[in-house]
Amino acid sequence: MATWNSRGLRGSTLEDLINRSNEQYLEKGLALIQKIPTPITPIKIDKEHRHITLAYFDQKSTVDYIGAVQGIPVCFDAKECTSNTFALQNIHEHQVRFMEQFEKQGGISFLIIFYTARNELFYLPYADMRRFWERAKSGGRKSFRYEELNQDFRIHSTGGILVPYLETIQKDLDARD
């Protein structure tokens, strides 16, 4: 059973940057994207400081973020990677199913991956993620390499936004036409 304190601060830096970016997008009237909290059940509580010190996850969460960009439904998950190889075990089957259903309803699903050693951000469109996922399911690689990513979906810093992913959403939309 996964517990809250066993996961440490994994992904928190990227999520903090995305949260700030989402605030900026909201202030500019460009998007409304919300962080989806993961429901937990507290096990131990420090009563003196009123802090949860141990908890377990109630249910599997879907994705980290959901919302709308200029009227287009959007959902995505934030992942960090310390090497040039991204292990697909970091994406859970229930997340893939949710993203697939979201896409079928006319939404856009994707991952934002932060390659920490390279200090680079990538937008991984659902179609590419699904291709890697299916390759693994059919006995192929259980990961994908940095070199396999479409360099057009690298997220470049612009306009003072920390994680400016709206431009890559537009590239994703253009590629679907």
Tell me the whole-structure pTM to 2 decimals. Answer: 0.82
177 residues of the chain, pLDDT tens digit each:
333 333 433 446 899 999 999 999 999 999 999 998 766 666 677 777 777 676 555 556 689 999 999 999 999 999 999 999 999 999 989 899 999 999 999 999 999 999 999 999 999 999 999 999 999 999 999 999 999 999 999 998 877 899 999 999 999 999 987
Query: What is the domain range of residue 16?
Result: 4-176
Q: State in Å, rounded, how far the first CA of the chain is from the last one.
A: 43
pLDDT at 8: 37
Q: What is the 3-state secondary structure (H, E, C) of 32-88?
A: EEEECCCCEEEEEEECCCCEEEEEEECCCCCCCEEEEECCEEEEEEEEEECCCEEEH
pLDDT number for residue 10: 44
* Residue given tokens 């377990």 in the structure block: 56
pLDDT given at position 11: 47
Task: Give the tokens for residue 83.
Answer: 């090497």
Count of structural domains within the chain = 1
Instruction: Give the pLDDT of residue 57.
Output: 55
Q: Hey, what are 91's tokens? A: 């994406």
Residue 160 confidence (pLDDT): 86
Q: Which residues contact 173 (CB under 8 A, 6 or more apart)?
A: 72, 108
Question: Domain containing 130 — which CATH number?
Answer: 3.40.1350.10
